[in-house]
């Protein structure tokens, strides 16, 4: 099963746009990680075994918010909203979403 079938998207161009959004979002989230952690007073001085798990957990909300914003800019808000809802539900955070799915 390919990504188009798995994600239930219609065209190859939509797949390319989605992959571009993931790429841009990952880069921006990684770029913002240090300033966000510095703002929160978290540094590598606490040790890598605390720093990296803590950094990963704290940057997750930034990543998800950015994913919706960048997805909206590229006209893929519906896809990314539903993608996030599914991802967060798998993490046990499904209660954050009241509706079932974004409709066009």
Cβ proximity of 52 and 42 under 8 Å: no
pTM to 2 decimals?
0.78
Cβ proximity of 58 and 42 under 8 Å: yes
Q: Which of 81, 83, 91 shows the shortest CA–CA distance to 56? A: 91
pLDDT in tens, 18-77: 999 999 999 999 898 888 888 888 888 888 888 889 888 888 988 999 999 999 999 999
In Å, how far from its chain's centre is CA 59? 10
Q: How far apart are the first and last CA of the chain?
A: 25
């Amino acid at each position: 099963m390919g990504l188009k079938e798995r994600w239930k998207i219609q065209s190859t161009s939509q797949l390319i746009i989605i992959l571009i959004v993931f790429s841009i979002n990952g880069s921006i989230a990684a770029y913002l990680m240090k300033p966000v952690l510095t703002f929160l007073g978290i540094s590598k001085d606490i040790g890598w075994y605390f720093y990296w798990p803590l950094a990963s957990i704290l940057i997750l909300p930034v990543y998800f918010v950015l994913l919706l914003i960048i997805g909206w800019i590229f006209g893929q808000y519906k896809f990314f909203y539903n993608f996030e809802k599914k991802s967060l539900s798998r993490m046990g955070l499904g209660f954050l979403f009241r509706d079932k799915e974004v409709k066009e």
